[in-house]
Amino acid sequence: MVRIHPSILSADFVNLERDLEKIATADGVHVDIMDAHFVPNLTFGLPMVQRIAEVTRLPLDVHLMIDDPDTWAPQYAIDGVESVTFHAEATRDAIALARELRARGTRAAIAVKPGTGIDRVLEHLPEFDMVLIMTVEPGFGGQAFMGEMMPKLEALRGRAEELGIELALQVDGGITAETLPIAAASGANVFVAGSAVYGHASPADRIAELRAAGKGAFDTGMIDLRAIHRGAAGASGDGAAGSLER
């Protein structure tokens, strides 16, 4: 199933309740928490997430771009929050943190920046409910999609299939009706879109377009699309190499 999670980073923070209503047809709300340390930008914290959870019926997908998630992430496992995503580059102990989040009743997700490899995530895949592959450098909306991250998605989807586990595979950054099918063909099934949704006169129409683009990719057949993408982009396995270290 294709899930569309608009990012409220591109919403009007002063009119957030109104802007949340505009995305009522989505599958979840992507909430970017930035601390001006892990990334060079600042958004908001737990009190805002609590209020967002109160005013929307959609499940929240919290993307923590903060230092020391080992200390702070568990606090975000509140009612209405479906998943808490922390960065591999910021955590001291990804497995202990994932277990703590699951114990608190939320889905545990790990994110990797474009320059970070996925070897350790692959090794411990059953510990996570979702993996977020960043397709831009985290920090800002409106950047261009990095197609060279697709081998990471393919490696993760392949490993999840081998293990027979359900894995949500999320992409964040530069998702549009054109780039979404490329990520879907590589195994992604949860799509974050900020500027594409809120930059459109009708966010609901854009959500429908994104959903149709994703469904089209799955109907066409992922294997065929992967082959087309490889042919077009000459994708190599480079993006999947490396460790979890910065």
Q: How many Cβ atoms sit within 10 Å of the Cβ of residue 126?
A: 11
The CA-based dihedral angle spanning residues 158, 221, 152, 49, taken in that order and rounded to the nearest 10 degrees: -100
Handedness of CA 145, 148, 149, 150 (dihedral sign): positive
Identity of the amino acid at 199: G
Contact residues for ligand 5RP, defined by CB under 6 A: 7, 9-10, 30, 32, 63, 136, 138-143, 172-175, 192-196
CA 125, distance to chain mean position in Å, is 16
Token representation of residue 92: 């001291």
Query: How far apart are alpha carbons 107 and 132 in whole angstroms?
Result: 13
Q: Which does 28 bind (CB under 5 to 8 A by kind): ligand 5RP, Fe ion, none?
A: none
What's the closest the beta carbon of residue 24 comes to ligand 5RP, in angstroms?
Answer: 19
Catalytic residue list contains 32: yes
Token representation of residue 79: 């009612």
User: Is 37 annotated to bind ligand?
Assistant: no
Comparison of 62 and 101: residue with beta carbon closer to ligand 5RP? 62
User: Is 83 annotated to bind ligand?
Assistant: no
In the bound state, the residue with its beta carbon closest to ligand 5RP is 194
Segment contacting Fe ion by CB under 5 A, of 27-35, 174-182, 227-235, 237-245: 27-35
User: Is 63 annotated to bind ligand?
Assistant: yes
Query: Catalytic one among 19, 27, 61, 172?
Result: 172
- Please state whether beta strands 168-172 and 190-193 pair in parallel, antiparallel, or not at all (unpaired): parallel
What's the closest the beta carbon of residue 158 comes to ligand 5RP, in angstroms?
Answer: 25
Comparison of 150 and 159: residue with beta carbon closer to ligand 5RP? 150
- Considering only residues 136 to 195 of the shown chain, the ones binding Fe ion according to CB under 5 A are 172
Enumerate residues 6+ apart whose C-beta is below 8 A from 196: 175, 176, 177, 206, 210
Query: Catalytic one among 19, 32, 61, 129?
Result: 32
95 and 65 Cβ atoms separated by less than 8 Å: no
User: Is 68 annotated to bind ligand?
Assistant: no
CA atoms within 13 A on the CB side of 131: 33
Q: Which does 142 bind (CB under 5 to 8 A by kind): Fe ion, ligand 5RP, none?
A: ligand 5RP
Token representation of residue 28: 């979840």
Identify the residue among 3, 5, 22, 63 touching Fe ion (CB under 5 A). Answer: 63
What's the closest the beta carbon of residue 228 comes to Fe ion, in angstroms?
Answer: 27
Query: How far apart are alpha carbons 27 and 58 in whole angstroms?
Result: 7
Residue 32 lies near Fe ion (rule: CB under 5 A): yes
User: Is 124 annotated to bind ligand?
Assistant: no
Catalytic residue list contains 172: yes
Residue 113 lies near Fe ion (rule: CB under 5 A): no
Site residues, Fe ion (CB under 5 A): 32, 63, 172
Task: Please give the positions annotated as active site.
Answer: 32, 172
